[in-house]
Amino acid sequence: MSADPSPLTTEPELGAAVDLCTADGRRLNPAARGWSRTPLHRANLRGGWGRTKRWDYWAVLAGDLLVSATYADVDYLGIAAVWWCDLASGTTGGRDVIVPFARGLELPEVPATRPLHYAGKSLDLDLIDDPDGTTRIAARWRERDGREASLDAAIAMPEGHESLNVVIPWTERRFQFTSKHQARPAAGTLRVGDRRYEFGDVAGSGAEPAWGVLDVGRGRWPYRTRWNWAGGAGSSVDGRTVGLQLGGKWTDGTGFTENGMIVEGRLHKLGAELRWDYSWDEPLRPWRVTAPGGELDLTLTPRFDKHSRTAAVVLATEVHQVFGSWSGRFRTDDGGEVVLDGLQGFAEESRSRW
């Protein structure tokens, strides 16, 4: 079943639930090729050990405060992590745990249908989805300097709020389902030692809005990969709530992209591969992202670079993830223009051998 086509893409839009894989769980189901406005794919992955990757990654953009939580199973290891950054001071913290063979870390075939839980000596992490779609993140950990820390956050799912869900098909044995959520209202508290940060409109405090970001991944990957990802949320110049979801490199040549813009809760899917202009060696220079047909022209001005590097026997990754503000414009399905000036967001390049 397909929905009406979007004028910004020729990619097929799906309108009904579908299995990601064929019955044996090893190959891409041809019927799964497409995108949707809500998650419709069941990731019935079987076999393919070493190439199968599953994760839920959450982030909250809250002005000078950034927080994230990761729960991942990449076959030969699992990751449970929290991270935070106070952009005003440049202070960062958090905790990450690597679990051999991802023992005890399990993610459901259909996202948000089962609580995710990890309990260890230095970190406890729970991701729980309420019946109304709200996701609750609860974490307790000890900072490297010994301070006790905690995160309690609630990321709402407003009625009718759409997300970008798409299958990227490299081959029948290598493919990825991703569900990207942007501009979901968030509120909560981060405590680090004696310091307390509140974000979002907690108990009607009238605080500045905070925004939740979700990246769900379920698929079977090639060993070497490189990708761009960017997002953002806030208000346009004319006061509309906007979410940005942009990607690149890893989708090249597949006929599908993870590009789209959410305006007042509605997704405007963009099928074009985007041009990314930035410097890997100087990541705090501006990042410009443009569409070949003029549908989008945005620039991120970074203020912080989260640079991470991991090297192990079978795994090596390096990521520059920069946070700052977006300015520019994009076109919607109906041909209207949305102008941005100072929208909070991020952009990254990841290079992985995994």
In the chain, the amino acid numbered 126 is: D
Q: How confident is the model over 286-296, as a mean pLDDT?
A: 97
* pLDDT tier at 314, thresholds 50, 70, 90: confident
pLDDT digits (tens, 9 = 90+) for 15-67: 999 999 999 999 999 999 999 999 999 999 998 888 999 999 999 999 999 99
Q: Using CA atoms, how far apart are residues 37 and 319, in angstroms rounded to an integer?
A: 28
Give CA torsion, residues 345, 321, 168, 217, to 10 deg: -90
CB 155 within 8 A of CB 200: no
332: exposed, middle or buried (Cβ count in 10 Å: 0-12, 13-18, 19+): middle
Cβ atoms of 201 and 188 closer than 8 Å: no
Identify the band that residue 313 occupies on the pLDDT scale cut at 50, 70 and 90. Answer: confident
Q: Give strand ranges (E) for 43-134.
A: 52-62, 65-73, 77-86, 91-100, 116-119, 123-129
Give CA torsion, residues 31, 263, 67, 198, to 10 deg: -140
pLDDT digits (tens, 9 = 90+) for 167-207: 999 999 999 999 999 999 999 999 999 999 999 986 566 77
How many angstroms from the chain centroid is the CA of residue 172? 24
Can you spell out the DSSP letters for 242-288? EEEEEEESTTTTSS---EEEEETTEEEEE-SPPEEE--SSSTTS-EE
How would you label 197-226 residue by residue, b for 16+ Cβ within 10 Å and e otherwise?
bbbbeeeeeeeebbbbbbbbbbbbbeeebe
Q: What is the pLDDT of residue 4?
A: 52
Measured distance CA(278)–CA(284) in Å, rounded: 9
Percent of the chain with pLDDT over 70: 97
Q: Within its chain, how far is the Cα of 152 from the centroid?
A: 19
Output the CA angle 140-234-273, nearest 5 degrees: 100
Q: Output the pLDDT for position 7.
A: 84
Q: What SS3 state is found at 138?
A: strand
Per-residue pLDDT tens digits for 83-124: 999 999 999 999 999 999 999 999 999 999 999 999 999 999
Q: How far apart are CA 134 and CA 185, in angstroms?
A: 10
Mean pLDDT in the chain? 95
Read off the pLDDT band of 2 (50, 70, 90). Answer: very low
pLDDT surpassing 90 at residue 311: no
Residue 172 DSSP SS3: coil
pTM value surpassing 0.85: yes
